Amino acid sequence: MSNRAPIILAVDTSSISTAISWIKATEDYVSGYKLGLEFFLACGLDGVKEVSQHIDLDLFLDLKLHDIPNTVSKAAKAIEEFSPRFLTVHASGGTAMIAAAVHSLPNTLVTAVTILTSLSALDVHEIGYSQPPLESAVRLASLAVKAGAKALVCSPQETSAIRNEVGAEPVIITPGVRPIESSGGDDQVRTMTPSQAIRQGANYVVIGRPVTGGDSLQDIHTRAKKIAADILIGE
């Protein structure tokens, strides 16, 4: 039986060497690695290339593209050589923008971000959405799938409703998950435990600080092993 759980590890660091060390410490227990803005802006495409050479699992580029369709199309094309399995765009960028990314990266699952998990209901209202987070996320997910997105990012609290809306085919990825012993104390608002998110219909959960916040590489390894085991037994 594999020890690998449906975890995408958030490699949130500005250091190439740190990223590689985290990958080596956790590769037996996770299913992929997410490189986001912190890493991308600090290390650039060369950094992505170097780190990707150490990744035998899925590569998730979390760039949350949100611009006019032509710009997003060219930005997506610029990362084609890395063959990421996932590339994020904001669903609120609209149908044409999402479709442009899909057209540029036919072999990548363009992944539409619905409502950020750091946003509360009040935040969503202040931004200008006319509906609460749940209804807004479902609407954005439906729009994105119709535009060609093959994967979605949403809060675990919206996962079940989105799964019911879009069906079984789209991949659903949920950040904002926290093991019980790690809950609270950060900027995630609409959260669940990893196993709860999987039961709600998520294919993958994104976990970062509960693993990478370890005091040493051995601690990071141990944390990844425990969280993976908890997910696999459904805790």
Domains of the chain are: 7-232 (3.20.20.70)
- Tens of pLDDT, residues 116-169: 988 999 999 999 999 999 999 999 999 999 999 999 999 999 999 999 999 999
Binned at pLDDT 50, 70 and 90, residue 4 comes out as very high
Query: What is the tens place of the pLDDT at every residue in 31-45?
Result: 999 999 999 999 999
The token duo for 226 is 């425990």
How much is the pLDDT for 234?
80
Give 111-124 pLDDT, tens digit per residue.
Answer: 999 999 889 999 99
**pLDDT for 61-91, tens place per residue?**
999 999 999 999 999 999 999 999 999 999 9
Residue 220 has pLDDT above 90, yes or no: yes
30 in Cβ contact with 233 (< 8 Å): no
DSSP string, 54-73: T--SEEEEEEEE-S-HHHHH
Q: pLDDT band for 10, please (50, 70, 90 cuts).
A: very high
**What is the pLDDT averaged over residues 45-62?**
97
| C-alpha distances out from residue 193 to 2, 40, 106, Å | 21, 28, 33
How buried is residue 106: exposed, middle or buried, by Cβ count under 10 Å (0-12/13-18/19+)?
exposed
Identify the bridge partners of residue 177 per DSSP, sorted by sequence position: 192
Residue of 175, 169, 211 lying closest to 194 (CA atoms): 175
Question: In the numeric block, which tokens belong to residue 67?
Answer: 């611009």
State the catalytic residues. Answer: 64
pLDDT above 90 coverage of the chain, percent: 89
Residue percentage of the chain with pLDDT more than 70: 94
**pLDDT in the model for residue 182:** 56
Q: For residue 200, which amino acid is it?
A: Q
Radius of gyration of the chain (CA): 17
Give the tokens for residue 227.
């969280």
For residues 117 and 123, what is the distance between their CA atoms, to the nearest angstrom? 11
Q: How confident is the model at residue 187, as a pLDDT?
A: 53
Pairing of strands 171-174, 109-113: unpaired
The helix/strand/coil state of 86 is strand
pLDDT in tens, 165-215: 999 999 999 998 878 665 555 555 556 899 999 999 999 999 999 999 999
DSSP letter, residue 28: T
